Amino acid sequence: MTELVKVENLRVIARSDSGRETPIVRDISFAVPRGKVVALIGESGSGKTTIALSLMGYARSGCRIAGGSIRIGGRDILSLSASEKAKVRGRNVSYIAQSAAAAFNPAKTIMSQVIESAMIHRLTSRAEAEAKAVELFRALALPDPEGVGARYPHQVSGGQLQRLAAAMALISEPELVIFDEPTTALDVTTQIEVLRSFKSVIRDRNTTGVYVSHDLAVVAQIADHIIVLRDGAIQESAATEQILTDARNPYTRSLLAAANPTAPAQAAPLAADAGEPPLLEVEALVAGYGAAGSDGLPAVTVLNDVGFTLRPGTNLGVIGESGCGKSTLARVIAGLLPPAGGTVKFRGETLAGSAAERTKEQLRSIQIVFQMADTALNPTRPVDQILGRPLTFYHGVKGAERTRRVRRLLDLVQLPAHIADRYPGELSGGQKQRVNLARALAAEPALILCDEVTSALDTVVAAAILDLLAELRRELKLSYVFISHDLSTVRTICDDVMVLYAGRKVEAGSRAAMRSAPLHPYSDLLVSSIPELRTGWLDGLGKTGGEMGLGSAAVLARADRCPFFSRCPSRIESLCDTQMPPVRRLAKGTDILCHQSEAELIRLQADLRATAAAPLDRSLPGESRQ
Amino acid sequence: MTKIVDTASETLPARRGMRGWTITPVGGVCFAIAAFWLIVVLIGPWLAPHPIGAIVSFDIFSSPSAEFPLGTDYLGRDMLSRVIIGARYTVGVSLAAALIACSCGVALGMITAVIGGWFDAIVSRGLDALNAIPHLMFGLVIIAAVGTSLPVLIGTLALLYTPGSFRFARALAANVNELDFVHVARARGEGSFYMIREEILPNIIGPVLADFGLRFVFIVLLLSGLSFLGLGVQPPNADWGALVRENVSGLAYGAPAVIIPSLAIASLTISVNLAIDNLPRRLRDRLS
Amino acid sequence: MNNTMSRLIAARLGVMLLTLLIVSLAVFVATEMLPGDVAEIVLGQSATPEAVAGLREAMNLDRPAPVRYLLWLGGLLTGDPGVSLVNNIPVATLIGGRLGNSLLLAGVTAAFSVPIALTLGITAAMWRGRLYDRIVSFVTICVVSVPEFMVATLAVMIFAVQLRWLPALSFANDVQSLGELLRVFAMPVISLSFVISAQMIRMTRAAVIDTLQSPYVEMAVLKGAGQTRAVLAHALPNAIGPIANAVALSLSYLLGGVIIVETIFNYPGIAKLMVDGVATRDMPLIQTCAMIFCFSYLVLVTTADICAIVSNPRLRHK
């Protein structure tokens, strides 16, 4: 028999507290052949994780498996008793959770948790299990494989924990491994390392796997077969290559299209009047939390010496990984966090640090839109009040005129008028984000700070929001400071791009310049880490930047060294770690923070590419396909 | 720009309706008991069959009879009338104290959370210290100093429970204060009063009401304890705690005069507690 | 023990001392609210001008309040909290004879109820939603909802009046044998245990259920761990902080409960002493008893906080 897993007519039902039952998985049937990896792809609410957990006979509280059969290696999982199920879990089928940081018990050592399933099922002696764990750590390319087991989960980084979770799943040599979005919570540059190590152990051990994800590009690197899910039902099921090149189902095609953001036709930046001051000018900004120390820096310095100029009618994209200070930048500009040093000028006037001290006109002109639409809208107020308040506050609009203008705002963000009397809890994620935008538009601002506005949304919905932003910009002559961790999103919408790393500006230039070599070594790593929507991309990729050593301490801005030093493939020992690099203007017009000369960078980056087996397409995934 | 986006691809949460407001049977019964006592408080004087202080029987600690449905007390007074009037003191004093404690605590909690800084630090530290004094004991100290009367009782009970209410409300308000919609309002330039009224209060009102219920129960228990020690409501008036105290000599005979007031307290406190535990889903969701 | 941890613990102890200072101020201010002249009130009928003047001087009433506060505080720290206004015996002597009795009662109650309550709380959490859990939850919510005196009077009705197993009153002074000791203690301990156990069971159950819902417990179940292992090996080590807190807060209930229970059973402890003091308005005695209670409360709560700090793996393994 070549099929390890056979699922037939699986049905899972969720029960709400009021007792109403809704099916969340509807008559799903599929099979997983031995030694193959099958991916379950879908957006939130598609039932993919629920299906994966059912394979272990497990349903989260509030859900129950209502029908169908699951056979794994001839065992009928659903007919097993509770104790028989426990014997299968961790022994025959094992699970890698989305957030390893949460799946590891903070009170126990990593080793004791990695070998726990071997101990529970009495597979080997403790010493043998530990030896095997160390071997797995090595296979997963973890630094310090001998010592990492003695650490506690909070002492290692997220990417490493994710690989340790894989070791935890593989220790008992299970027949089937379930990967539940194992890289979703990671930054792209970390994700690539984790994917690489997953891929190599899967290949070496001929693992049978079920890989759950929302990210087609990631799945394309790992899976042999893809099942596309929506609302608990299968839309399409085919070999990976076929899904990517010849999808039949319209929903699959819309997923593929959304994964390839295309740059909308850019409105040509409005011809700037020579005499017109820049819209926003940020100089030598220092910001952080806690009291200022003797050196004038706050206790935790999040942003250090960051500056940029935004011309009227243009957009600036700010990118960087979690913790690089990009959201702090938005908070400082909005007046939510007074800076510890430097200035923010709007149309030539210096802005006060705190919103309370700015003029109403200044406040009106700069609006902020947050990432989590869920928490950005007051859940106890209906939409018309949420949108009406800034109208009244800034423009003194009341009564029927207010209702009329709320309507117009809803129309502007392409929402139906009847949404006005709804509460945020009754809106979908995309609708909430549109209301969120409409509230900012109500002020009739000149500049909108968009803080990761699409990150929490499903790809299809996010793509629609990006289109809306581009359209609004054309119609209303807006400028955006667009903050994101996703370079491809930023490049579809922005004229200029700024890259932040550990609170420092490491590169800044025009969108076009960001596409030609050389780049700052960190930008280069960022660009090459974005998964491309084709099979074999991961295998063809050359060596990317080294990763941080053990430890999860966030890199903080330090004055005496390059912030990227520890991960930089092009570093110069005893220079980069002893001196802050100078700002270097490259021939293509960008500024980078680096000790290496331009010629040297070009050579080093060409070398990196040369180690790759396949020629690397340097342009963006989306743009390469147009 | 009139094209309406097709949002069908996203699953929409249900429209707000009656769902989520259904009450469990236990919750319903408990609400009914609590409401019953509230009605007794309001119309008590018209319900009581005998004047409260009147000695109506020569038989002391008598068992229930047609004339005295709950028996008589240690002086031969009608227990039913005394329990009905006692409800006024137990529920009335406790409700007044809980109202004062919670309004002061919640108002202060929201103000400190929004303003922050040294004002927050001083108020929080001071009230936390007050909270570190065992309630019954602090009540004894104040009563020893000032003597006991209804206003003093209400004031003391309110003072004792303000710090707890403050701490609870401040924690909730501080959480809401960090949410993005509050940041948006702040970036818009809204003042502190608007923030408290429109952004914070509506989002903490559910848990605050539940906390009010719990604090009311604590106050009933403390008041009963004080009265039981003879330091609460003073004769000739009597709340339920005082009724237990004055009839405690009937304990040896298992007289209803001792048991009934105890049961009255228990029925009130248990039902309020259980009612809060069984709050409608919609309210409970906001408690987290 | 590392630097961060020692610093946190030191900070916690500092907060405790600061709180104690504020509490002493609050107690002092509260007792200052006595309207009228303390000396006249104390002397009552026998208030001749000479006697009042003498007493005023003895009580330092002529000095300004802040000075009296400092004198009182100094007295407390040196073990001389003043002289009882009622019978002229030093407060230290009055309390000294009784503090032991109260501590014994509290100690026996704690030793009896903590193990039982923790077991019930943890098992209820383990089998949550089942009949056992529902019964435990219902009984405990009933017990925490009724006044302490009701539990005590019910206990008297059942054990002393109906069953006649135990004496209704306690006289710890004339206990001759161990058996007698048990009989004397039984009623107060049973009553108190009921009250504080119910509280402790509820809080322990809530703490364990909270940790049972964390993803690492789900992970353990998906590794094949049974219910017992998931609770004992995974949930409990992370629930030590909240459980210590539950125990401390419940034991602090002892302080309130003990006042009622000592009064009902006529038990010669300091709580009874204090209630008697309130009836006679014996301020020095009340102040001192109050400070002893507050101090015990703060010690309990601080201990719980330190337990939470010490058991936090993020602090333990820096």
Indicate which of A17, A372, A394 best probes the interface with B, i.e. most B CBs within 10 Å of its own CB. A17
Answer whether B136 sits within 8 Å of C19, measured CB to CB.
no
pLDDT band for position C163 (50/70/90)?
A: confident
Angle between helices A399-412 and A383-395 (to 10 degrees): 110
Answer whether C216 sits within 8 Å of A105, measured CB to CB.
yes
Cβ burial C89-120 (10 Å sphere, 16+ → b, else e): eebbebbeebbebbeebbebbbebbbeebbeb
The question of ipTM being above 0.90 is answered as no
Cβ burial B162-184 (10 Å sphere, 16+ → b, else e): bbbbbbbbbebbbebbebbbbbb
- The pLDDT score that the predictor gives to residue C175 is 55
Number of domains in chain C: 1
List pLDDT tens digits, range C50-72.
777 777 776 666 777 788 888 88
Q: Which residues contact C20 (CB under 8 A, 6 or more apart)?
A: C294, C295, C298
List pLDDT tens digits, range C256-301.
778 888 888 878 888 888 888 888 878 888 888 888 888 888 888 8
A102 touches chain C (CB under 8 A): yes
**CATH classification of the domain holding B168:** 1.10.3720.10
Of the listed ranges A52-61, A74-83, A359-368, C76-85, the least confidently predicted one is C76-85
CB-based contact A550:A599 (threshold 8 Å): no
CB-based contact A478:A445 (threshold 8 Å): yes
Answer whether B1 sits within 8 Å of A412, measured CB to CB.
yes
pTM to 2 decimal places: 0.84
Q: Is the pLDDT of residue A584 over 60?
A: yes
- The pLDDT score that the predictor gives to residue A40 is 94
CB-based contact A123:A115 (threshold 8 Å): no
Contacts of A552 in chain C (CB under 8 A): none
List pLDDT tens digits, range A149-168.
999 998 888 888 988 999 99
Full residue range of the structural domain in which residue B189 is found: 2-47+70-282
Rounded percentage of chain C residues whose pLDDT exceeds 70:
86
List pLDDT tens digits, range A90-117.
999 999 988 888 899 998 999 999 999 9
Rounded percentage of chain B residues whose pLDDT exceeds 90:
33
Task: Give the Cα-Cα-Cα angle B27, B29, B30 (nearest 5 degrees).
Answer: 65
Q: Is the pLDDT of residue A127 over 90?
A: yes
Contacts of C214 in chain A (CB under 8 A): 102
Distance of alpha carbon A322 from alpha carbon A486, whole angstroms: 11
- The pLDDT score that the predictor gives to residue A616 is 37
Q: Is the pLDDT of residue A612 over 70?
A: no
Of the listed ranges A79-88, A451-460, C172-181, the least confidently predicted one is C172-181
Q: Is the pLDDT of residue A550 over 60?
A: no
Between A210 and B230, the higher pLDDT residue: A210
A426 touches chain B (CB under 8 A): yes
Q: What backbone phi and psi angles, to 5 degrees, belong to A41? A: -110, 140
- Give SS3 for A317: strand
CB-based contact B238:B75 (threshold 8 Å): no
Distance of alpha carbon C124 from alpha carbon A507, whole angstroms: 58
Answer whether C294 sits within 8 Å of B266, measured CB to CB.
no
Answer whether C286 sits within 8 Å of B140, measured CB to CB.
yes
Distance of alpha carbon A175 from alpha carbon A182, whole angstroms: 19
C223 touches chain A (CB under 8 A): yes
CB-based contact A568:A595 (threshold 8 Å): no
- The pLDDT score that the predictor gives to residue A552 is 37
- Please state, rounded to an integer, the average pLDDT across all residues of chain C: 82
Residue B243 lies in a domain: yes
Distance of alpha carbon A595 from alpha carbon A588, whole angstroms: 17
- Please state, rounded to an integer, the average pLDDT across all residues of chain B: 83
pLDDT band for position B250 (50/70/90)?
A: confident
Q: Give the CA distances from residue A208 to residues A92, A217, A333, in Å, rounded to whole numbers and listed in that order.
A: 11, 20, 50
Answer whether B184 sits within 8 Å of A368, measured CB to CB.
yes
Query: Of chain A residues 233-272, which have a CB less than 8 A from chain B?
Result: 254
List pLDDT tens digits, range A334-385.
999 999 889 999 998 999 989 989 999 999 999 999 887 778 999 989 999 9
Distance of alpha carbon B128 from alpha carbon B133, whole angstroms: 9
List pLDDT tens digits, range A420-455.
999 988 888 889 999 999 999 999 999 999 998 888
- The pLDDT score that the predictor gives to residue B247 is 86
CA A419, chain centre distance (Å): 30
Residue C43 lies in a domain: no
Residue C246 lies in a domain: yes
Please tell me which of the candidates A95, A120, A168 has its beta carbon nearest to residue C225.
A120
Q: Is the pLDDT of residue A82 over 70?
A: yes
- The pLDDT score that the predictor gives to residue A626 is 31
Distance of alpha carbon B133 from alpha carbon C295, whole angstroms: 9
Distance of alpha carbon A448 from alpha carbon C31, whole angstroms: 60
| Chain B: partners with 3+ C-beta pairs within 8 Å | A, C
pLDDT band for position A177 (50/70/90)?
A: very high
Between B219 and B49, the higher pLDDT residue: B219
Distance of alpha carbon C241 from alpha carbon C311, whole angstroms: 7
List pLDDT tens digits, range B79-114.
888 888 889 899 999 999 999 999 999 999 999 999
Nearest CA in chain C to B143: C278
Answer whether C238 sits within 8 Å of A107, measured CB to CB.
yes
Tell which residue, A144, A76, A83, has the closest CA to residue A110.
A144
Distance of alpha carbon C3 from alpha carbon C5, whole angstroms: 5
Residue C248 lies in a domain: yes
pLDDT band for position B161 (50/70/90)?
A: very high
Distance of alpha carbon A321 from alpha carbon A304, whole angstroms: 16
pLDDT band for position C179 (50/70/90)?
A: low
- The pLDDT score that the predictor gives to residue C173 is 53
Answer whether B202 sits within 8 Å of A20, measured CB to CB.
no
Contacts of B13 in chain A (CB under 8 A): 425-428
- The pLDDT score that the predictor gives to residue B59 is 77
Span A401-405, mean pLDDT?
94
Distance of alpha carbon A36 from alpha carbon A261, whole angstroms: 30
Q: Is the pLDDT of residue A615 over 60?
A: no
Nearest CA in chain C to B129: C19
Indicate which of B3, B4, B7 best probes the interface with A, i.e. most A CBs within 10 Å of its own CB. B7
Full residue range of the structural domain in which residue C231 is found: 95-316
- The pLDDT score that the predictor gives to residue A553 is 36
The total of other beta-carbon atoms located within 10 Å of residue C312's CB is: 17
Q: Give the CA distances from residue C104 to residues A593, B244, C178, in Å, rounded to whole numbers and listed in that order.
A: 71, 28, 14
Residue C215 lies in a domain: yes
Rg (CA), chain B: 24
- The pLDDT score that the predictor gives to residue A213 is 92
- The pLDDT score that the predictor gives to residue C96 is 84
DSSP state of C166: S
Greatest mean pLDDT among A478-492, A553-567, B189-203, C69-83 lies in B189-203
Residue B81 lies in a domain: yes
Between B133 and A548, the higher pLDDT residue: B133
Q: Is the pLDDT of residue B5 over 50?
A: no
Distance of alpha carbon A599 from alpha carbon A260, whole angstroms: 33
Number of domains in chain B: 1
Domains delineated in chain A:
1-92+174-181+208-260 (3.40.50.300), 280-515 (3.40.50.300), 521-618 (no CATH)
CB-based contact A21:A27 (threshold 8 Å): no
Q: Which residues pair with A237 in a beta bridge?
A: A227
Residue C56 lies in a domain: no
B171 touches chain C (CB under 8 A): no
Q: Is the pLDDT of residue A265 over 80?
A: no
Tell which residue, A440, A427, A509, has the closest CA to residue A480.
A440
| Chain A: partners with 3+ C-beta pairs within 8 Å | B, C
- The pLDDT score that the predictor gives to residue A463 is 86
Query: Of chain C residues 294-313, which have a CB less than 8 A from chain A?
Result: 311, 313
Nearest CA in chain A to C311: A107
Answer whether C224 sits within 8 Å of A90, measured CB to CB.
yes
Span C159-172, mean pLDDT?
66
Please tell me which of the candidates B4, B11, B199 has its beta carbon nearest to residue A45.
B11
Q: Is the pLDDT of residue A280 over 50?
A: yes
Instruction: Report the DSSP pairing between strands A208-213 and A37-41.
Output: parallel
Please tell me which of the candidates A102, A107, A116 has its beta carbon nearest to residue C223.
A116
pLDDT band for position A261 (50/70/90)?
A: low
A94 touches chain C (CB under 8 A): yes
pLDDT band for position A548 (50/70/90)?
A: very low
Residue C229 lies in a domain: yes
Residue B163 lies in a domain: yes
Distance of alpha carbon B232 from alpha carbon B241, whole angstroms: 8
- The pLDDT score that the predictor gives to residue C74 is 87
- The pLDDT score that the predictor gives to residue B3 is 44
Rounded percentage of chain A residues whose pLDDT exceeds 70:
91
Answer whether C256 sits within 8 Å of B137, measured CB to CB.
yes
What the block records as the tokens of A79 is 């007919």
CA C285, chain centre distance (Å): 18
Residue B187 lies in a domain: yes
**CATH classification of the domain holding C285:** 1.10.3720.10
